[in-house]
Amino acid sequence: MHGIVRPPSAELGPAPDRLDAVKRKLHEYRFMLLLVALPTLIVAGYYYLIATDQYETQADFVVRSQVSKPSPTGIGSLISLGGNASLASPDAESVIDYLKSTEAALHIERSTGLAKRFSRSFIDRWSRLGSATPSPEALRAYYNKQVELKLDKETGITKVTVHAFVPEDAYAIANSLLKLGEQRVNDLNQRSNVDALTGTGRQLTEAEDALRDIQIKMTSFRRTQSDIDPEASGKAQMAMVTGITTTLSAARAQLAGMRGIISPSSPQYIAMAAKVRALESEVSQQGGKLVGQGGSIASSLGDYESLRVRQEFAEKRYEFAAGAYQTAREEARRKQIYLVRVVNPNMPVQALFPERGKIVLTVFCSLLIAYGIGWLLISGIREHANG
């Protein structure tokens, strides 16, 4: 024979043994492969072969007011731009709630074409927005998945994070978001001003109208009486009557003294008597003007004093209303809030998301831990049953 002929069983023996060993191992670890390895491979296949790259841009802003509060410390003191400026967390929370709302999503859609940016054809079907014309609810849900706003209550800084599939999209959406926040702050300030000034403004208008009406009545009264200041005219008339009365008293005394010395038919006595009668007539006439009936000074002065009291009341009411309105304006101005950009959004260069390795490792570890817990529970149940 030219050589040793080996039996076929000797040549083919090791291969079936190795194949059987592999089959036994696969059968032994079938649940682990099915529940851990296979889902991990599926996730890895999606993220490494299908998932579209995403770009991230970030921006920071702070909402502050002029209301006096304890001075902030740390980074809060660095971003406080005024001596009495303070962080306004409640206002920041209201701005954040608005920026997460459907109204904000629709506004950004109108300004930047949000739906078209997130429904581009090159984006994988599981990552992109389902339609270029989605419902408001669907747009808001996808928008909140791609946009994150997080408030740090210790510093008052709100961090804005935007993910998009094109760098320019992320940058445009972040800028539009900040502009919308500034507009919202302006709207809140305007509404606060209207609420604060409505009541006091109405009181001021009413006081102005009342003062104008009483001034018109005063002017009409003066024209009717042909007297600019009835009060001054009354004082002058009273002084005139007092002076004439004093002169009359002196003339009467002089006439009484002449009666024992000079004959009543003498020219001097007749002249003095005539003077006394003239003074008595003048006193009677001027006194009638002062306190007589009808258009007397006393009557017109009473009407004038009534108008004057009403005018003083209207003036005081106007001063009070004007002061209250000015105080309300100062208070409204002091309570105004401002959105200050701490960090502007940047134009991203490198796609950092999705974090493929981190996601796949997290899925694998989670499934492995769940599988281990399940295996321990089943082993414990079996041992308890066998025991």
pTM over 0.75: no
Beta bridge partners of 162: 57, 147
What letter does residue 52 receive in the DSSP assignment? P
Average pLDDT in the 40-55 region? 93
Do you know the residue count of the chain? Answer: 387
Structure tokens at 6: 């080996």
d(CA 81, CA 59): 19
Tell me: the pLDDT tens digits for 317-340? 889 888 888 888 887 787 788 899
Residue 91's Cβ-side half-sphere holds a number of Cα atoms within 13 Å equal to 26
Tell me: the pLDDT tens digits for 239-284? 766 777 788 788 777 777 777 677 777 778 777 778 777 777 776 6
Question: Is the per-residue pLDDT at 290 higher than 60?
Answer: no
Q: What is the pLDDT of residue 116?
A: 93
d(CA 249, CA 254): 9
Tell me: the pLDDT tens digits for 117-168? 999 999 999 999 988 899 999 999 999 999 999 999 888 899 999 999 999 9
Q: What is the pLDDT of residue 373?
A: 93
Q: Mean pLDDT: which of 13-27, 158-172, 297-311 is highest?
A: 158-172
Q: What is the pLDDT of residue 106?
A: 95
Q: Are 51 and 76 in contact (CB under 8 A)?
A: no
Q: What is the mean pLDDT of the chain?
A: 80
Q: Are 212 and 151 in contact (CB under 8 A)?
A: no
Q: What is the pLDDT of residue 243?
A: 76
Q: What is the pLDDT of residue 9?
A: 47
